[in-house]
Amino acid sequence: MRLCLIADTHGKHDYLLLPEADLLIHCGDMCEYSDPRPDPLGEMDDWFKAAPAKDVICIAGNHDRSLERRSPGSSPPFPHATYLEDSATTIGGLIVYGSPWCPNLPGFAFYATDDELREHWRKIPEGIDILVTHTPPHGILDTPSRSRRHLGCPILLEELKRIRPRLHVFGHVHAGYGRKQSGDTLFVNAASFSTGGHEPRPPWVVEM
């Protein structure tokens, strides 16, 4: 299965050139925090519908207020994509689990305290193929520009010892764009734009 991995498009998704893929995965921050568009989720769904992928999976990020404000039990936000929020789906025999939560950002969407993060990450089952989060794990592709400070989640890093996915894909820290193999897990930071940038980076393509 050919995967196309993106994140942090912040309303600039039309600038991306997507390769053909069996599965497109968006790791959150589709919108801006104060998004001026009248229907950002509808616009995103139209783009998902036109994407050159057989299936689309997405999660939210800390800028996706429109997704955080949805009423519990409401209909899925994207008719043309599978939206995951502490939930899993199976596509092409691959088990994919998605979760949007981020540490250290009170006031933003999908912020969680350390205790809340522990509860969220404990829900992630072992034996999954692909883990999709918005935040990186601590120390893995999570360093901002001109800084050695790590912005990823230490609690998620600890839980990964139990979960051990084949692929963990995320975004959030734009300068961390890249990929890294560690043990049995391939880590990919798929942030599609640098902070404040308008030139898109190439989407990551992974074969599974």
**pLDDT above 70 as % of the chain:** 98
The structure tokens 């969407």 sit at 109
CATH number of 2-207: 3.60.21.10
Residue 38 has what pLDDT?
72
Q: In the predicted model, is pLDDT for residue 70 greater than 90? A: no
- pLDDT number for residue 34: 67
- Rounded average pLDDT over 198-204: 92
Q: Tell whether the model's pLDDT for residue 92 goes beyond 90.
A: yes
Q: Give yes or no for residue 49 having a pLDDT over 70.
A: yes
Tokens of 58: 């997405």
Q: Residue 168: name the closest of 17, 201, 176, 68 by CA.
A: 176
pLDDT over 70 at 54, yes or no = yes
- Tens digits of residue pLDDT in 19-34: 999 999 999 999 877 6
Element (H or E) spanning 43, and its range? Answer: helix 40-50
Q: Tell me, what's the pLDDT at 163? A: 98
Asked if residues 92 and 56 have their Cβ atoms less than 8 Å apart, the reply is no
Residue 204 CA: distances (Å) to CA of 10, 37, 140, 187: 17, 28, 17, 11
Which helix or strand (DSSP H or E) is residue 25 part of?
strand 21-26
Residue 76 near residue 83 (C-beta atoms within 8 A): yes
For residue 51 the two structure tokens come to 């994407």
- Map residue 177 onto helix, strand or coil: coil
Mean residue pLDDT across the chain:
94
pLDDT band at residue 164, thresholds of 50, 70 and 90? Answer: very high
pLDDT digit string, tens, across residues 109-161:
999 999 999 999 999 999 999 999 999 999 999 998 777 889 999 999 999 99
